[in-house]
Amino acid sequence: MLDEKIEESVDILVRAYKTHGDSVVFLTSFSMEDNVISDLMSRAGTGIKHFTLDTGRMPQETYDIMEIISNRYGIMPEIVFPSTDEVENMVRAHGINLFRSSTSMRELCCETRKIRPLNRILSDKRAWISGIRSDQTGFRGQSEIVESDPLRPGIMKYNPLLNWNSDHVKEYTGKFMLPINALYSRGYRSIGCAPCTRAVLPHESERSGRWWWEDGIKECGIHAPVRFKPVMREEE
């Protein structure tokens, strides 16, 4: 079963590279899923450029795994930062921890620290690769393995792990002894910025530790509109 998933995902990565060459990039947060993709890329020999978003609020453990993975695969990820002017203006107007005050302030922070830098990177690219899985959120469940980016017209998005579940990711990680972010061993299951991520209990959902004080959809705007409303099927 895992072998089939590996083969399918490698095929997708090879297809992305053959189709777009240097105009396709891989956005990694050095999550377990993204590290699987880095490993698959090394098997496929695609040479697709890695980039990552440094929001300025990341946990130290994420910088540590960034360095470990970069050394393991000999990659030099492009680290993309938000605009200094935009962050300074936002903090001056709304405070350093504005994301705690309201959902709209949280969205402003995510837009400033994540979405605009991502859009800047993609502005001269034709496609990008993400490590989302369909079982993570409602919007991700409606994604396709190869799709037009629903948030960035004209840009293609490849989701090679869309049909994997967390057990597949864990199995791959164990089988090929991939290093992982140390926070996973402390109960974290989805890792983002330090002030907006916490460990979860075994019965809680994977993304419930993200912005846990909100009832929302647990998306920052990279993969889904922050105010996404899931499409209800008839039987629901």
Instruction: Give the catalytic positions in this structure.
Output: 220
Q: Which residue lies nearer to ligand SF4 by CB, 25 or 109?
A: 109
Per CB under 6 A, residues contacting ligand SF4 are: 55, 57, 99, 106, 109-110, 113-114, 192-193, 195-196, 220
Provide the sign of the torsion angle of the four alpha carbons 77, 207, 136, 186, taken in this order: positive
Number of residue whose CB is nearest ligand SF4: 193
Q: Does residue 193 contact residue 179 with C-beta atoms inside 8 Å? A: no
Q: Which residue lies nearer to ligand SF4 by CB, 73 or 212?
A: 212
Q: Which residue lies nearer to ligand SF4 by CB, 20 or 113?
A: 113
**What is the C-alpha separation between 35 and 178, in angstroms, rounded?**
7
C-beta atoms surrounding 101 within 10 Å: 11
Q: Which residue lies nearer to ligand SF4 by CB, 49 or 198?
A: 198
* DSSP result, 155-166: -EEE-TTTT--H
CB of 179 to ligand SF4, least distance (A): 23
CB of 58 to ligand SF4, least distance (A): 8
**What is the C-alpha separation between 9 and 2, in angstroms, rounded?**
11
Q: Which residues contact 128 (CB under 8 A, 6 or more apart)?
A: 24, 25, 26, 27, 122, 149, 155, 156, 157, 158
CB of 156 to ligand SF4, least distance (A): 25
Q: Which residue lies nearer to ligand SF4 by CB, 2 or 96?
A: 96
3-class SS of residue 55: coil
CB of 181 to ligand SF4, least distance (A): 16
CB of 39 to ligand SF4, least distance (A): 26
Q: Strand (E) positions, 28-149? A: 49-53, 78-80, 127-129, 146-148
Provide the sign of the torsion angle of the four alpha carbons 171, 175, 177, 178, taken in this order: negative
Angle at 76 between CA 39 and CA 113, to 5 degrees: 100
